[in-house]
């Protein structure tokens, strides 16, 4: 009688795969690279807790992602900044030192999707390696340096050809630790990605900690860190947190993200701050986004400052959260803005060259304010409108909470902005998207 195998071929393959995965989990790094206690900055583990030590003392990151307005950051209780690249790094480190701030220095790295363009090109990979090595050698002894961040959201995956990315990434990690054993190295991912954490666990060697860029999903982070601690049980940092992103906001019928007023965003900062996993023994600190002024979807979405250094209510909020002290001169308040009596969620569609009225509802009792109105054409064909928008007209600067203007003649998406400024270096913003529909 012929004996049949207990397991069919397909079942055997499944069993072998399962054993391989289990073996991988047992042997993969589960937390950090070896602690370098003789380093200027190192991460120390005691029991289940992790602590950054800087100059021999415990250090908790409390700061912002950005590289300007450093004196203001220090004045309201911050202690750290984070950059994304090495442009003007020497000057930034020097200014940070003058303001008693630490710096997480970003090392720029192409994303893992650039396999053919970059990672399969040995010459480009080698040139990048040499360039970063020179940067690290130049600044590794700067007293303001806290750690290195290798790449910003590089994208850890297992796509065909990804071995080229991991080979380059791990070579850079080894080089950084060899060139500068005195500072930890991290990298960032968007939110807490189970798959990215897995690929880091399996394919990356020597990271001292992981960092998360996380906004609206911040409230879910603690639960995920606990549930998936079997993937990553080492220390972590929140490298960006702040107002809900455009990708998380409600949109109009034509896809324009609806932005909250700066007053409402300040409330969100306070609510999200309470969601930081500060009691997690692996938590090393957090950096608010964005410490400066930048164009991302709109010129005001993430900007905590204007181009002249004036501050929004969110900066006042951070001061209170970090120091327990209220701002001496709080920023103005904008409750909401109406266009033709409608709000942004009403999908405002208007005829061309038509007289319209925009109105701001604010707390006028706080003192005299100046209002500056602008009309912009939306660049809605680029992802999240990241390209600079086209300023159609600087409409008016006035003390009036109401503005009459004519809609553009050309059909398409637009947005009207208002900036309400006081005499103490504070301001508030609001904007409303609308769509001009040409007549038949």
Chain CA centroid to CA 371, Å: 29
Is a pLDDT exceeding 50 seen at residue 12? no
CATH (one of 3.40.50.300, 3.40.640.10, 3.20.20.80, 3.40.50.11720) for 28-323: 3.20.20.80
Q: Where are the domains of the chain?
A: 28-323, 334-436
How sure is the predictor about 233, in pLDDT bands with cuts at 50, 70 and 90? very high
Is a pLDDT exceeding 90 seen at residue 9? no
User: What is the model's pLDDT at position 253?
Assistant: 94
How sure is the predictor about 32, in pLDDT bands with cuts at 50, 70 and 90? very low
102-107 vs 80-82, strand pairing mode: parallel
User: What is the model's pLDDT at position 383?
Assistant: 58
Long-range Cβ contacts of 390-398 (<8 Å, 24+ apart): 396/372, 397/370, 397/371, 397/372, 397/373, 398/370, 398/371, 398/373
* Helix-helix angle 89-98:122-139, to 10 degrees: 30
The CATH classification number of 334-436 equals 2.60.40.1930
Q: How far is it, in rounded angstroms, from Cα 301 to Cα 289? A: 11
User: What is the model's pLDDT at position 385?
Assistant: 53
49-54 vs 57-59, strand pairing mode: antiparallel
User: What is the model's pLDDT at position 389?
Assistant: 75
How sure is the predictor about 39, in pLDDT bands with cuts at 50, 70 and 90? confident
| Average pLDDT of span 210-237 | 95
Contact 198, 189 (CB under 8 A): no
Long-range Cβ contacts of 252-255 (<8 Å, 24+ apart): 252/344, 252/345, 252/347, 252/348, 252/433, 252/435, 253/347, 253/435, 254/347, 254/380, 254/413, 254/435, 255/380
- For the stretch 148-195, pLDDT in tens is 999 999 999 999 999 999 999 999 999 999 999 999 999 999 999 999
How sure is the predictor about 384, in pLDDT bands with cuts at 50, 70 and 90? low
How sure is the predictor about 37, in pLDDT bands with cuts at 50, 70 and 90? low
pTM reported for the whole predicted model: 0.89
Q: Could you give the C-alpha distances from 373 to 221, 417, 432, in angstroms and in order?
A: 39, 6, 12
Share of the chain above pLDDT 70, in %: 88
* Chain mean pLDDT for the chain: 89
Residue 218 neighbours by CB under 8 Å, 6+ apart: 238, 241, 272, 275, 276
Q: How far is it, in rounded angstroms, from Cα 124 to Cα 116? A: 11
Q: How far is it, in rounded angstroms, from Cα 22 to Cα 217? A: 30
| Average pLDDT of span 332-336 | 94
């Amino acid at each position: 009688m012929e004996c049949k195998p207990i397991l069919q071929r397909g079942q055997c393959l499944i069993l072998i795969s399962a054993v391989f995965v289990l073996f991988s989990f047992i042997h993969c790094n589960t937390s950090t690279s070896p602690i370098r206690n003789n380093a200027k900055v190192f991460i120390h583990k005691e029991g289940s807790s992790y602590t950054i030590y800087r100059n021999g003392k415990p250090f908790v990151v409390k700061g912002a992602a950005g590289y300007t307005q450093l004196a203001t950051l220090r004045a309201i209780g911050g202690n750290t900044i984070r950059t994304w690249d090495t442009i003007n790094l020497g000057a930034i480190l020097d200014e940070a030192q003058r303001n008693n701030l630490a710096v997480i220095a970003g090392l720029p790295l192409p994303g893992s999707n650039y396999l053919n363009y970059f990672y399969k090109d040995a010459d480009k990979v080698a040139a990048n390696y040499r360039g970063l090595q020179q940067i690290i050698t130049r600044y590794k002894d700067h007293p303001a340096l806290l750690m290195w961040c290798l790449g910003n959201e590089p994208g850890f995956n297992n796509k065909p050809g990804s071995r080229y990315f991991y080979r380059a990434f791990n070579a850079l990690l080894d080089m950084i630790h060899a060139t500068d054993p005195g500072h930890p190295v991290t990298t960032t991912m968007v939110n807490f990605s189970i798959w990215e954490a897995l690929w880091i666990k399996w394919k990356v060697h020597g990271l001292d900690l992981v960092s998360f860029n996380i906004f609206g999903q911040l409230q879910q982070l603690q639960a995920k860190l606990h549930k998936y601690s079997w993937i990553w049980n080492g220390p972590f940092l929140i490298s960006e947190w702040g107002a809900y992103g455009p990708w998380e906001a409600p949109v109009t019928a034509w896809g324009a993200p609806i932005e909250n007023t700066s007053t409402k965003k300040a409330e969100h900062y306070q609510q999200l701050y309470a969601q930081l996993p500060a009691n997690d023994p692996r938590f090393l600190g957090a950096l608010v986004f964005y410490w400066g002024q930048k164009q991302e979807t709109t010129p005001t979405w993430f900007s905590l400052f204007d181009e002249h250094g004036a501050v929004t209510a969110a900066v006042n909020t951070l001061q209170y959260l970090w120091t327990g002290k209220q701002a001496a001169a709080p920023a103005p308040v904008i409750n909401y803005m109406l266009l033709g009596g409608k709000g942004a969620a009403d999908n405002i569609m208007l005829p061309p060259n038509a007289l319209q009225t925009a109105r701001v509802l604010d707390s006028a009792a706080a003192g005299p304010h100046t209002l500056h109105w602008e009309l912009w054409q939306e660049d809605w064909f680029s992802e999240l409108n990241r390209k600079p928008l086209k300023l159609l007209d600087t409409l008016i600067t006035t003390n009036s909470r109401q503005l009459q203007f004519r809609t553009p003649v050309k059909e398409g998406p637009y947005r009207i902005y208002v900036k309400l400024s006081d005499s103490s270096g504070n301001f508030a913003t609001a904007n409303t998207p609308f769509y001009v529909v040409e007549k038949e």
